[in-house]
Homo-oligomer: A and B are copies of this chain.
Amino acid sequence: MAFPTLNDIKFALIRIKSFIHRTPILTSSAINQIAGCEIYFKCENFQKVGAFKARGAANAVMKLSEEERAKGVATHSSGNHAAALARAAQVIGIPAYIVMPSNAPEIKKKAVRGYGGEIIECEPNLMARETTLEKVVKETGATFIPPYDYMDVVEGQATCALEFLDDQPDLECLIAPVGGGGLLGGTALLAHYWDPEVKVYGAEPKGADDAYRSLKAGRIIPQTNPQTIADGLLTSLGDINFEIISRYVKDILLATDPQIIEAMRLIYERMKIVIEPSCAVPLAGLLANKEQFKGKKVGIILSGGNVDLGKLPF
């Protein structure tokens, strides 16, 4: 498997630069005091569409040939990738077909439609999603852009760590949440090229710990019946990302839901920023493993801020 090189990732950043924000890095002396280390937060909750997913989707769409572009892009997702792909397509004026389960929240559908995406509803199960997507692709000739297990998407997500280490070169550790592994894979790859001494950690809810178990087992163990508030991290690891993560990630930090909620509250109260539950998992994982990070300079990627404000867990 040929991974993107450092140059590939640098070119990806140039490619998508005018379509995304270079997100700010924030710090909180109050949280540093609690954590016993120096934390830098890369705020992808301020990213376009409210999540890092804007990077991978933009990169994948921009890399299509002219012929492919003309036919548009398609995916199945009810999360941030759906909105990110719809927006990336809108920016360059091509159609985006988004297969969504019929029971997806209205707010998610509204976001996709707001970016000009065409929603195709299907029964709320994986089989229906896949067959519906297949049908859409057949009919339209659109290119399927998967949410994470796709090289151009991973390359795009890697631009986040590139900006991060460029702005804050003295980081000793990086922590990213892990669901399908696109962000963690991209982060680990970039950090490895940047400086193999930078330790990269994934952070995962205890109730959806397939990456943790897969890494221990040395093979992908699919996630079944995930139980966690971190609803962006329910999926199983992708093949590409498993390859990268098993090579370049030092460890997966686990956090329970109460720990995730506590970390989420800390970020709202002390940093005054809005994040989604999945986004609090790295801080929760760090706080659950304080001694490992004592006195270190740690970079945390805050992955997104799309949360139903009526359902905050506090």
Contacts and interface: CB of A to CB of B under 8 A. Distances in A.
A166 B247 CA distance: 49
Given A273-B273, A274-B274, A312-B312, 16 more contacts: A24-B24, A45-B272, A46-B271, A46-B272, A50-B272, A265-B309, A268-B274, A268-B309, A269-B274, A269-B309, A272-B273, A272-B274, A272-B275, A273-B274, A309-B314, A310-B314
Interface in A258-277: 265, 268-269, 271-275
Interface string A272-284: 1111000000000
Copies in the complex: 2
Contacts of A274: 268-269, 272-274
Contacts of A271: 46
Contacts of A312: 309, 312
A72 interface: no
A56 interface: no
Size bin of chain A's contact surface: 10 to 19
A205 interface: no
Interface of A: 24, 45-46, 50, 265, 268-269, 271-275, 305, 309-310, 312, 314
A81 to B, nearest CB: 18
Contacts of A275: 272
Contacts of A265: 309
10 contacts: A24-B24, A45-B272, A46-B271, A50-B272, A268-B309, A272-B273, A272-B274, A272-B275, A272-B305, A309-B312
Contacts of A46: 271-272
Contacts of A45: 272
A312 B50 CA distance: 21
Contacts of A24: 24
Contacts of A273: 272-274
Contacts of A305: 272
A46 B45 CA distance: 16
Contacts of A272: 45-46, 50, 273-275, 305
A265 B307 CA distance: 12
Contacts of A310: 314
A105 to B, nearest CB: 14
Nearest to A48: B29
What 3 pairs between A and B have smallest CB-CB spacing?
A: A272-B305, A272-B274, A45-B272
Contacts of A314: 309-310
A188 to B, nearest CB: 26
A305 B265 CA distance: 13
A24 B312 CA distance: 26
Nearest to A267: B274
A208 B275 CA distance: 32
A46 B275 CA distance: 15
A309 B274 CA distance: 11
Greatest chain B CB density within 10 A among A272, A310, A312, A314 is at A272
